[in-house]
Amino acid sequence: MEFPFDINQLFSERISILDQNLIASRQSKEKPDLRVKIATVLDELGKASAKAQDLPAPITSASKLQFQKHQLYLMKDGESSRGRGVVVGFLKVGYKKLFLLDRNGVHIEVEPLCVLDFYIAENLQRHGYGIELFNFMLQHQNVEPVLLAYDRPSTKLLAFLARHYNLRQSVPQVNNFVAFEDFFHKRAVSQLRRVKKSDGDIKPYSLMEREAVRQEQRTLPWPFAAPLSPHRSVSSQCSQSPSAGSSPRRVLPCVTHPAFAGDSREQSPHSPLMDCCRTRRSNSLSRSQLGFN
């Protein structure tokens, strides 16, 4: 694409990387009027891309780039147009949080790098510019093409990916994005997070949720309460008698201290629970005889 101003003055590199600051070189940073021309170039490229993809409105413009954390790779041919340069095309990428379906229909929550817009001027296509621009982005982002998600790719882009990167087997999605089969195979497990499915899969409890459940179980009446911790004192459980109106509690048998191993009660055929009850009744009678009741 040709413009009525010097493209080489705006973009010093063959492939320039722009972000929300719309700065492509040191000159454009120091001269605000150059940023106005850069915005004009981006707006025209966005319109041309939308027209080529039969979109109702451009998805790339200077104003949108300023309010989005995306990166735009702009390619030029600095020797054309009598040394003033022409714009060959652009490639816009950015990270997006997506819910994708794998081949088994499992929902996966990911935030991959996405190809959001890709355009090469019609009169400059099939000259190797597209593959050069795309490979530059892959190297700069240090990512494989199969690990990208593609937003509403045109038939030309799908053919481009199949021809140059052998990306053919895509997994159908309910949104406008396209992800290929190896996207789910090659991504690190730490980058994939399963989300709650509609059929009732339950997400594992967090540590705080597990502690809350334990606290709730401690307050439930027997037999709904969780088993008591083994480190709690057995004697204290035997000494507690249920009060009127309270829920029944599980009573653990009293264990005779080893010091009384020679006591005749230890040889008794009765259970330790009966011994404990006899001891409690004997203590009650002694207190009655002494006038404490």
Instruction: For residue 85, say whether it is annotated as part of any ligand binding site.
Output: no
Q: Is 165 annotated as a binding residue?
A: no
Mean pLDDT confidence for 25-49: 84
Check whether 126 is labelled as a binding-site residue: yes
Between vectors from CA 36 to CA 30 and to CA 37, what angle results, nearest 5°? 100
Question: What length is written for the chain?
Answer: 293
**Alpha carbon distance 18, 90 (integer Å):** 10
The verdict on whether omega for the bond into residue 223 sits within 30 degrees of 0, i.e. cis, is yes
Contact 101, 179 (CB under 8 A): no
Residue 183 · residue 167 · CB < 8 Å: no
Q: Is 130 annotated as a binding residue?
A: yes
pLDDT band at 28; cut points 50, 70, 90: low
- Parse the chain into domains and list their residue ranges: 15-195
Distance CA 55, CA 146 (A): 25
165 close to 146: Cβ distance less than 8 angstroms: yes
Do residues 232 and 252 lie in contact, with contact meaning Cβ atoms separated by under 8 Å?
no
> Residue 73 annotated as binding?
no
pLDDT tens digits, residue range 252-276? 444 444 444 444 444 444 555 556 5
Superfamily of domain 15-195: Gcn5-related N-acetyltransferase (GNAT) (3.40.630.30)
13 marked as binding residue: no
Find which of 6-15, 113-122, 250-259 is predicted with most confidence, using mean pLDDT. Answer: 113-122
Q: What is the mean pLDDT of residues 162-187?
A: 92
Residue 123 among known ligand-binding residues: yes
Give the confidence band of 27 by pLDDT, cuts at 50, 70, 90.
Answer: low
DSSP string, 152-182: S--HHHHHHHHHHH----EEP-SSSEEEEHH
- Each residue of 78-110: pLDDT tens digit? 988 888 899 999 999 999 999 999 888 888 999
Give me the percent of the chain exceeding a pLDDT of 90.
49
Residue 15 labeled ligand binder: no
Q: pLDDT, tens digit, for every residue of 148-158?
A: 999 999 999 99
Q: Is 127 annotated as a binding residue?
A: yes
> Has 124 been labeled as part of a binding site?
yes
Confidence of residue 50 (pLDDT cuts 50, 70, 90): very high
Burial 214-251 (b: 16+ CB within 10 A, else e): eeeeeeeeeeeeeeeeeeeeeeeebeeeeeeeeeeeeb
What integer pLDDT is reported at residue 34 of this predicted model?
A: 86
